[in-house]
């Protein structure tokens, strides 16, 4: 039997991995779970989070801290039942093709971890424990504040009461919490231990490629506040003609956008925040960035070049339909997977963007000036957009997009230059040179 690949160059074979979160409440476990799921899904790896709290809320929707007292037999029984239900659902999900299941819970005792490990092993699922250990009061406080305003456990309650109760809940867990014992009877486990948000990281017995991908990604995350700005190049000469690809210069209106961009950036970023500008290696993105202040470092990445349209490079959609009618139809049927002859698919673009995403996760403020398809892929990563839909998103020219990752999603603000430009959006089946976007934009 030939080996399987998920099509993005990731050899997943028949891997089934359960990522088991470990740690006290308010240590960022749900954030890690959420962001790992988003990253894997973006890479076309089926990933799903199973949050034990959600199962427990069926039985106990608004528990007080006493519920989490480990001497409270009733609470203990319900929490155990919730964990069992989550794990059972996860095992069912693996049977339907799931690859990485993330068990989001405290899993704070050795007994609980041993149980999860045994159940998974018995079902042919590898276990990767991911522990977040943190004693920096500032980080914990920020998480407590976040929980009191967003957790369904405290819905409708006074925020101060909620924070007080949540603190008490944490101290209930502290009584029984044991960190993963890497020198003792847990030394055979595969685990990643993240101390104080990455200051120290311990990696134990990582066995295969997919585990190491997850570990490397999580190692690179940071939680310092930052934003990512995205812009397409200014309108190009090919845009005017409705031609795709190429390496043409900016149109007069595109040049106006380049001159206006520093103002938009100043408005959004501010004057003294250090910003690094990434462009592709193509003339139109470099020209779009040329008026940005000299103190912003600029880097060119080949990986940010536009989707390679192969034999169709330089053609209009009408010409593509005339010369390659079957390709034209095939692309509209599955735009994400369709690869231009001698060119690329959106899926291919995602593979080559993966190192860019990794570098973005490590970085602080970055402005990326790139191309329609590439921008769609980067946007889809941050905004968790569906692969079937992202290639159809409308990304207008002459617009600066600011994305700010937060604990529970990514915030977006748009700045329009108010400089007219043609539309480069195209609906399914259309060969129009400049079609007005319909329905969902992004």
Binding region for a copy of itself (CB under 8 A) out of 34-42, 154-162, 357-365, 416-424 = 357-365
Q: CA nearest 235: which of 399, 402, 442?
A: 399
Q: Which is nearer to a copy of itself, 182 or 437 (CB)?
A: 182
The DSSP string of 8-61 is SS---TT--EEEEEES-TTSSHHHHHHHHHHHHHHTT--EEEEEHHHHHHHH-S
Ranges assigned E (strand) in 253-358: 276-279, 297-300
Three-class SS state of 411: strand
Count, residues near a copy of itself per rule CB under 8 A = 45
User: Is residue 20 within 8 Å of 90, Cβ to Cβ?
Assistant: no
Q: How far is the CB of 199 from a copy of itself (least distance, A)?
A: 6
Q: How far is the CB of 65 from a copy of itself (least distance, A)?
A: 32
Q: Which is nearer to a copy of itself, 219 or 240 (CB)?
A: 219
Q: How far is the CB of 352 from a copy of itself (least distance, A)?
A: 7
Q: Which is nearer to a copy of itself, 11 or 430 (CB)?
A: 11
Residues taking part in catalysis: 104, 233, 306
Binding region for a copy of itself (CB under 8 A) out of 4-12, 45-53, 55-63, 144-152 = 4-12
Cβ neighbours for 184, distance < 8 A, ≥ 6 positions apart: none
Chain centroid offset of residue 105 CA: 21
Structure tokens at 147: 């929980």
Q: Which is nearer to a copy of itself, 179 or 220 (CB)?
A: 220
What is the Cα–Cα distance from 407 to 24, expressed in whole angstroms? 17
Of the candidates 81, 139, 203, 407, which one interacts with a copy of itself according to CB under 8 A?
203
Of the candidates 72, 151, 157, 300, which one interacts with a copy of itself according to CB under 8 A?
300
Beta-bridge partner residues of 126: 17
Considering only residues 11 to 40 of the shown chain, the ones binding a copy of itself according to CB under 8 A are: 11
Binding region for a copy of itself (CB under 8 A) out of 72-80, 113-121, 302-310, 416-424 = 302-310
The conformation of residue 162, written as its DSSP 8-state character, comes to H
Residue 167, classified by CB atoms within 10 Å of its CB into exposed (0-12), middle (13-18) or buried (19+), is middle
Structure tokens at 261: 């961009």
User: Is residue 228 within 8 Å of 403, Cβ to Cβ?
Assistant: yes
What is the Cα–Cα distance from 351 to 220, expressed in whole angstroms? 18
How close are the terminal C-alpha atoms of the chain, in Å? 40
The reply on whether position 262 binds a copy of itself by CB under 8 A is no
Q: Which is nearer to a copy of itself, 61 or 216 (CB)?
A: 216
Q: How far is the CB of 267 from a copy of itself (least distance, A)?
A: 23
Of the candidates 223, 303, 330, 422, which one interacts with a copy of itself according to CB under 8 A?
303
Of the candidates 266, 273, 362, 406, which one interacts with a copy of itself according to CB under 8 A?
362
The reply on whether position 247 binds a copy of itself by CB under 8 A is yes
Q: Which is nearer to a copy of itself, 22 or 162 (CB)?
A: 22
Q: Which is nearer to a copy of itself, 246 or 391 (CB)?
A: 246
The reply on whether position 216 binds a copy of itself by CB under 8 A is yes
Cβ neighbour number for residue 85 with a 10 Å cutoff: 17
Site mask for a copy of itself (CB under 8 A), range 134-173, x = bound: ----------------------------------------
Cβ neighbour number for residue 269 with a 10 Å cutoff: 18
What is the Cα–Cα distance from 402 to 411, expressed in whole angstroms? 8
Site mask for a copy of itself (CB under 8 A), range 270-299, x = bound: ------x-----------------x--xxx
Three-class SS state of 184: coil
CA angle 298, 301, 328 (to 5 degrees): 130
Q: Which is nearer to a copy of itself, 9 or 420 (CB)?
A: 9
Q: CA nearest 379: which of 442, 285, 440?
A: 442
Considering only residues 323 to 352 of the shown chain, the ones binding a copy of itself according to CB under 8 A are: 341-342, 344, 348, 351-352
The reply on whether position 182 binds a copy of itself by CB under 8 A is yes
Of the candidates 199, 408, 428, 429, which one interacts with a copy of itself according to CB under 8 A?
199
The conformation of residue 243, written as its DSSP 8-state character, comes to B
* Residues of this chain that bind a copy of itself (CB under 8 A): 1-3, 5, 9, 11, 182, 198-206, 209, 212, 216, 219-220, 246-247, 276, 294, 297-303, 308, 313, 341-342, 344, 348, 351-352, 354-355, 359, 362-363
């Amino acid at each position: 039997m030939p080996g399987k690949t998920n099509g993005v160059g990731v050899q997943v074979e028949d891997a089934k991995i359960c990522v088991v979160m470990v740690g006290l409440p308010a240590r960022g476990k749900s954030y890690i779970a959420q962001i790992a799921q988003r990253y894997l899904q973006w890479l076309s790896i089926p990933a799903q989070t199973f949050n034990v709290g959600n199962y427990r809320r069926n039985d106990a929707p608004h528990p007080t801290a006493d519920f989490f007292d480990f001497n409270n037999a009733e609470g203990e029984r319900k929490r155990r039942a919730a964990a069992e239900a989550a794990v059972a659902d996860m095992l069912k999900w693996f049977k339907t093709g799931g690859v990485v299941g993330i068990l989001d819970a405290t899993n704070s005792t050795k007994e609980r971890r041993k149980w999860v490990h045994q159940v998974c092993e018995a079902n042919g699922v590898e276990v990767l424990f991911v522990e977040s250990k943190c004693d920096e009061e500032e980080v914990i406080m920020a998480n407590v504040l976040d929980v009191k305003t967003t957790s369904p456990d405290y819905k409708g309650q006074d925020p101060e009461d909620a924070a007080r109760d949540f603190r008490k809940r944490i101290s209930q867990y502290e009584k029984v919490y044991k960190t993963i014992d890497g020198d003792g009877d847990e030394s055979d486990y595969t685990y990643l231990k993240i101390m104080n948000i990455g200051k120290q990281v311990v990696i134990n017995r990582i066995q295969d490629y997919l585990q190491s991908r997850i570990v490397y990604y999580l190692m690179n995350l940071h939680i310092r506040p930052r934003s990512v700005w995205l812009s397409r190049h200014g309108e190009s000469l090919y845009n005017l003609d409705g031609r795709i690809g190429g390496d043409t210069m900016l149109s007069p209106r595109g040049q106006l956008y380049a001159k206006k961009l520093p103002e938009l950036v100043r408005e959004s970023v501010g004057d003294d925040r250090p910003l690094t500008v990434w462009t592709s290696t193509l003339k139109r993105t470099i020209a779009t960035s040329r008026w940005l202040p000299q103190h912003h470092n600029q880097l060119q990445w080949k990986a940010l070049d536009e989707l390679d349209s192969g034999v169709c490079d330089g053609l209009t959609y009408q010409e593509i339909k005339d010369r390659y009618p079957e390709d034209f139809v095939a692309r509209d049927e599955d735009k994400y997977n369709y690869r231009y002859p001698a060119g690329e698919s959106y899926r291919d673009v995602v593979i080559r963007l993966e190192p860019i995403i990794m570098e973005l996760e490590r970085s602080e403020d970055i402005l990326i000036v790139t191309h329609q398809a590439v921008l769609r892929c980067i946007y889809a990563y941050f905004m968790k957009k569906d692969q079937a839909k992202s290639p159809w998103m409308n990304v207008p020219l002459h617009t600066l997009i600011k994305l700010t990752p937060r604990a529970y999603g990514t915030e977006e603000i748009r700045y329009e230059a108010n400089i007219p430009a043609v539309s480069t959006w195209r609906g399914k089946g259309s060969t129009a040179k400049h079609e007005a976007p319909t329905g969902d934009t992004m």
